[in-house]
Structure 1
Amino acid sequence: MSKVKLGFSFLLTLLFVGMFSVVAFAAGSNPVGTPPGDPADMKGGLVTDDSAKDNNYDTVRKSNANKTGSGVGGQNSDFNNVIKSDDMVKNADGTHGTQRTHGSYMNNTNSCASCHQTHTGASKNLLFKDGEYATCTACHDGTLGFYNVFTGSNSAGTFGGTHDGNMSVHLANGTVELKAAPGGNSTGTGNWEAEFTCASCHAPHGSYSDRLLHENPNDMGNTLVSKGGKLLENVPVVTDITAKNAAADVTYKDATGADVTINYVLYRFDIGTTVDAAYSAKGLTTGDTVLQLMKWNGTKYVNDTDPWLHGYEFDENHVKHYWTAFKDSTGKEVFDTDQLKKGEILGNGFAGVPASKTALVSSVKSLTSGNVARGYVVKLDVSAPNANNVTTTTASSLWASKKADGSTNPGYVANRGVAMSTFCSACHTDYLAGSGKETGTFDHAYRHTTTSDSYTCVRCHYAHGTDVTVMRDARGLTYQNILDDTTNYFPGVTGEARTSIVKDYLLDKNPSSALKRYTNMAVCWGCHTSSHSEGTRNTDTYQYNSTPGIDSDRNGIEFDY
């Protein structure tokens, strides 16, 4: 995994809100400075010594030939002694390179041993550490050169932090269940009983998104659209897209009780002489058959590119039923997304079959309807890897904004922020909303807009956690920015006194589990100092510049794009 720069949207307890803060657990029995739910030997979020729970390879317990877990975890880890997949054959010309740990595995891979022990795992799923949280943080605590989730950054924030204040974490160690998510389903139905762990948000074996963000968070990819998910049921198969009208095929009531209708079709056709790039990239060509999911956008049908999920369940007769499956006129499932060996070719939002696979083509041409479970896709602005294969992400690329000088965010890409908010709302269901009316699946309330790239969740919230050193004031200035600005912030104060006063300046006076990127109500003031400015304009008294009446001296979030 590599570096992330995420955050969150407006209002105190908006979408990717932390499950609980350390402050909220102050009355618990854990030692001071220990995240709630962790064993006593995990201090400040860092594993100091949990070797008793490992099955490491050493001179006494030779339990794993790959030495999985040996030298991993704790602050004394030796990167050079840890089993890795360096120098495995990578290219046809015989050149070598380092394999990926999470996904895109090579056919001579040794990457499985990075996390699993075949016969001697310390926990379920054969993980070499005791649980998902401990397994992930064994490498991602900074000791092995990988992305360090405990280091404060302007990306995803931090697990643990400095404990100097504002301590709030997405408690991903399995202590709480998904139903603890503010704005989520408190009734415990569906998948809400699942433990909240690192794998609740990240897919360790690869995903369609950057930062390994999960393609099916909280199983919402396989939950009906009418219940807030992305599963489409009984979508009709059509062969003439121009003859299909815009009558809605999916109808449900929103949180206000109003009828909502959306229209999807599965368009089946044979590729003509012109081959779309998406199909040719998968090896399809003229004469091959395609089944493409399409959505009516109010004017025409456009391709839906959400990837199809391939999971399955068993019924009471132990018959396997795939989440994404297609039926003939009798209602029989005759085609699903686990037929790769039969010649099916899957792309984003479509399946294709080469004309040479005549039996499979015949099955596809008998289809009349289908169910489609769709994955979540979140794309970020990620840099190229450095020497340690660590990358960084620019959080501000997810939202449309302007600096005080009027310049726009050059890295902004339309709809990425909304995709991030949609991902967060897989658990924080009620918080995906527009302003101006009561909304919510599980409770109704007026909410801040999160369905816009201007106010996406990550603009105001972190994903991993906060502490006083990573939070910002209304100008978007961090602890280090303020510490260095001896002209406008606490001039004449130096040394330890300055460190203390800057931390106190950023200390949240109403700490919570909200994972706020900005301290106190600076989370509101940072934007609303210029929004509706006639009523919220700063007076001369509170300008940072001594020259009164200068608009550029007003507050307003500044970002390093």
Structure 2
Amino acid sequence: MRKLKISLSALLMLLLVSMFGAIASAETFTPTSTNPAPTIHVGDIDNSGNQNTHKTHGNFQNNTNSCANCHSTHNGEDDMLLMKSGEKELCMSCHDGTMGFYNVTKASEAGVIDSHELSASMHDVDSNLVVGSAPGALNNKSTATFECSSCHNPHGSANDRLLNETVAGKQYGNNYNVTIVGYTETITKLNQVPVGQKAIKLNLVEDPAYADINNSTTLSGLKIYKSNGIYNKPADGLTQAQVYDYKLNYSEFCASCHDDYLKNRENGPRADRVHYTHTTNSTKQGRSCTACHFAHGTDITTLRDTAGKTIADLEKPIVDGGKGWTDAQAKAYMKEVSKKGSSLKRFTNMAVCWACHQSTHQIANTPGTTNYPNTTDYKNYLVPGGDYSGKSLIK
């Protein structure tokens, strides 16, 4: 019996050692040009014999093996020969942070998806939702099932985030002529951008979390970027006209499904003549869909107040600009209480409205201003506790 106990102990020790060894191996994984992530194997020589910037999605070579990362020739689990039983399962096998560099369960400029935190709402790609049932869908009658590929092209796109250039059967990319005189903005749609010419360009910067990869000279030019969303002003060689095009096309992209939310400058009744709404086909700050909403979704960790503060910000010590609140205090304050839920919003409740509409509730910008309501200077009074600096985050 004693020998048996020793044997079992030894076996347990071996199992623990192997487990820790596997963990250590995963933590010390070193990407290479042909193995950029665990189990992802690609080539790095292009069709001209030069080292290229090949990635798993898109830019396939004539001798590609990249197909095998997602498809199984003989043992696929569906009629598209996918390695997993469903599209969401396949995408999340990499993009849940276990293999791919882009973890959609972690908050980013796109928001967060597949979250179970408080106040969570998201584009649900795992519910057999019909594309044509999207809120604000008037002329969108698509009966297709909403999937990751409803917005993204897994085989590659001219867009930096593999955004489809045709959504719900509509090609959305256009060129525009924008004329602004005072407060009057005149927008004329000129022509449709041919597929493959980047209908939307995002403001991407190298992700500091992957500095070693981005600075490497041996990874075939592989770069890991984080997005700052759409451009608001000319930068990196972009003209003002291009910035306008990209911004307007982003709203067109969303309106491919939510077609009744894309309004013209007349700001008149919706197409169904029921309601008035915000103008979204505008180049002005705060008028695009993504000014108020995340593309993937939101939860209690991504929501902000009018000051642009998140729960993490509020929990910081006062000396670091926070309030020193406990997690419970911060969550109770930030919780979305609207009956319809958080609706993929960037700001909690109606905080996004106050962040923009400050004309009658401004923070005093001159010393000695009396606190409201003990002043008649209604355009410049100090609202107790009010901080609307979050407007700087609205695009």
TM-score (norm 1): 0.50
Task: Give the C-alpha shift of residue 427 in structure 1.
Answer: 0.2
| Structure 1 residues 162 and 457: CA distance shift in structure 2, 3 A | same
**Is the CA contact (8 Å cut-off) linking 1:462 and 1:516 kept in structure 2?**
yes
- Give the structure 2 partner of residue 449 of structure 1: 279
| Structure 1 residues 177 and 390: CA distance shift in structure 2, 3 A | same
The one-character-per-residue Cα deviations of 1:185-206 (angstroms, maximum 9, x if unpaired) are 38x84xx110000000001111
Matches within 5 A, 1:52-451: 82-90=38-46, 92=48, 95=51, 99-153=54-108, 155-163=109-117, 165-185=118-138, 189=141, 192-221=142-171, 304=191, 306-308=193-195, 377-384=199-206, 386=210, 387=213, 389-395=223-229, 397-399=230-232, 413-434=243-264, 437-442=267-272, 444-451=274-281
Task: Measure, in 2, the Cα distance between the counterparts of 1:139 and 1:302.
Answer: 39
**Is the CA contact (8 Å cut-off) linking 2:121 and 2:298 kept in structure 1?**
yes
- Give the structure 1 partner of residue 292 of structure 2: 460
Task: Give the C-alpha shift of residue 220 in structure 1.
Answer: 1.2
Secondary structure of 2:113's aligned partner: coil
Task: Measure, in 2, the Cα distance between the counterparts of 1:445 and 1:108.
Answer: 55
**Is the CA contact (8 Å cut-off) linking 1:432 and 1:451 kept in structure 2?**
yes
Task: Give the C-alpha shift of residue 89 in structure 1.
Answer: 2.5
Larger strand proportion, structure 1 or 2? 1
| Structure 1 residues 302 and 522: CA distance shift in structure 2, 3 A | closer
Question: Are 2:393 and 1:555 aligned?
Answer: no
Q: Which runs of 5+ in 1 are unaligned?
A: 1-70, 222-228, 232-293, 309-346, 349-375, 402-409, 543-547
Instruction: Give me the CA root mean square deviation.
Output: 3.9
- Give the structure 2 partner of residue 311 of structure 1: none
**Is the CA contact (8 Å cut-off) linking 1:434 and 1:448 kept in structure 2?**
no
Task: Give the C-alpha shift of residue 514 in structure 1.
Answer: 1.5
Task: Give the C-alpha shift of residue 472 in structure 1.
Answer: 0.8
**Is the CA contact (8 Å cut-off) linking 1:158 and 1:467 kept in structure 2?**
yes
Task: Measure, in 1, the Cα distance between the counterparts of 2:332 and 2:372.
Answer: 21
Match of 2:361 among 502, 512, 536: 536
**Is the CA contact (8 Å cut-off) linking 2:75 and 2:81 kept in structure 1?**
yes
| Structure 1 residues 389 and 460: CA distance shift in structure 2, 3 A | same
The one-character-per-residue Cα deviations of 1:357-381 (angstroms, maximum 9, x if unpaired) are xxxxxxxxxxxxxxxxxxx821111
| Structure 1 residues 149 and 508: CA distance shift in structure 2, 3 A | same
- Give the structure 1 partner of residue 334 of structure 2: 506
Task: Give the C-alpha shift of residue 559 in structure 1.
Answer: 3.4
Task: Give the C-alpha shift of residue 99 in structure 1.
Answer: 2.9
**Is the CA contact (8 Å cut-off) linking 1:306 and 1:377 kept in structure 2?**
yes
Q: Which runs of 5+ in 2 are unaligned?
A: 1-21, 180-187, 214-221, 235-239, 364-369, 374-379
Task: Give the C-alpha shift of residue 541 in structure 1.
Answer: 5.8
| Structure 1 residues 220 and 145: CA distance shift in structure 2, 3 A | closer
Task: Give the C-alpha shift of residue 86 in structure 1.
Answer: 3.8
- Give the structure 1 partner of residue 314 of structure 2: 482
Larger helix proportion, structure 1 or 2? 2
Task: Give the C-alpha shift of residue 126 in structure 1.
Answer: 1.2
**Is the CA contact (8 Å cut-off) linking 2:42 and 2:66 kept in structure 1?**
no
- Give the structure 2 partner of residue 527 of structure 1: 356
Question: Are 2:298 and 1:473 aligned?
Answer: no
Secondary structure of 2:290's aligned partner: coil
Flag the structure with more relative contact order, 1 or 2, with Cα contacts below 8 A and sequence separation at least 6. 1
Tell me how many residue pairs correspond in the alignment: 321
Task: Give the C-alpha shift of residue 295 in structure 1.
Answer: 9.1
| Structure 1 residues 90 and 296: CA distance shift in structure 2, 3 A | closer
| Structure 1 residues 446 and 549: CA distance shift in structure 2, 3 A | closer
TM-score (norm 2): 0.70
Secondary structure of 2:128's aligned partner: strand
Task: Measure, in 2, the Cα distance between the counterparts of 1:179 and 1:118.
Answer: 33
**Is the CA contact (8 Å cut-off) linking 1:184 and 1:442 kept in structure 2?**
no
